[in-house]
């Protein structure tokens, strides 16, 4: 994902990239193509790029263990400067120093990094996923198991106690 900057005029420029997850050397959980839109703004001091990334990931729900696929987006921006004296004027996380005679900027590594950063701490197939019953393992999104009934209905327990007593006599 290279942007040619030789003899680029000042002002705004737009770029689109599509590359496979293999090209970006992403882990196996990612699949398909990664789409990247870039808005580049060149001034006499710097080149600023605003990058929007779209990619796909195989996920496993933390609650019900179901596998599902999700498309997600992430965005970042980066300043490119060639005068290292000016580096302190920028937040160090979003500035890259390039050579004055550099022909292109390669955004592949940054795109890869921001895809990895977009992986959520929690994976849920849906916000209100009911998860699995801790006793019988039933997926509670699809059926209410009997374990839950026993736990919440004291009358059921009382009845069972009654039956047990009878059989004991």
Name the segment binding Zn ion (CB under 5 A); options: 20-28, 69-77, 131-139, 150-158: 131-139
125 binds Zn ion (CB under 5 A): yes
145 binds Zn ion (CB under 5 A): yes
HSE, side-chain direction, 13 A CA sphere, residue 166: 6
**Choice between 92 and 128, CB closer to Zn ion:** 128
140 binds Zn ion (CB under 5 A): no
CA distance 71 to 126: 14
Q: Quick one: how far is CA 37 from the chain centroid?
A: 17
How many other C-beta atoms can be found within 10 angstroms of the C-beta atom of residue 35? 16
CA distance 138 to 142: 8
Binding mask 29-68 for Zn ion (x = CB under 5 A): --------------------------------x-xx----
133 binds Zn ion (CB under 5 A): yes
CA distance 32 to 34: 7
Q: Which of 4, 135, 143, 160 binds Zn ion (CB under 5 A)?
A: 135
**Choice between 45 and 60, CB closer to Zn ion:** 60
Applying CB under 5 A, what is the total number of residues that bind Zn ion? 11
Characterize the bridge pairing of strands 67-81 and 47-60.
antiparallel
Q: Pick from 79, 30, 81: which is nearest to 55 by CA?
A: 30
147 binds Zn ion (CB under 5 A): yes
Q: What residues make contact with Zn ion under the rule CB under 5 A?
A: 61, 63-64, 125, 129, 133, 135-136, 138, 145, 147
């Amino acid at each position: 994902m290279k942007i040619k900057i030789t003899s680029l005029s000042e002002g705004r420029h737009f770029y689109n990239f599509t590359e496979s997850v293999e090209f970006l050397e992403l882990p196996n959980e990612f699949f398909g193509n990664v789409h990247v839109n870039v808005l580049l703004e060149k001034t006499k001091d710097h080149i600023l790029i605003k990058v929007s990334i779209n990619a796909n990931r195989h996920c496993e729900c933390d609650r019900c263990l179901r596998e599902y696929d999700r498309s997600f987006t992430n965005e970042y921006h980066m300043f490119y400067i060639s005068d290292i004296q000016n580096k302190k004027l920028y937040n160090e996380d979003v500035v890259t120093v390039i050579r004055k005679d550099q022909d292109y900027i390669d955004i592949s590594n940054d795109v890869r990094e921001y895809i990895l950063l977009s992986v959520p701490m929690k994976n849920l197939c849906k916000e209100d996923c009911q998860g699995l019953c801790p006793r019988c393992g039933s997926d509670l999104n699809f059926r209410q198991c009997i374990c839950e009934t026993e736990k919440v209905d004291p009358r059921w327990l009382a009845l069972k106690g009654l039956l047990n007593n009878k059989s004991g006599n």
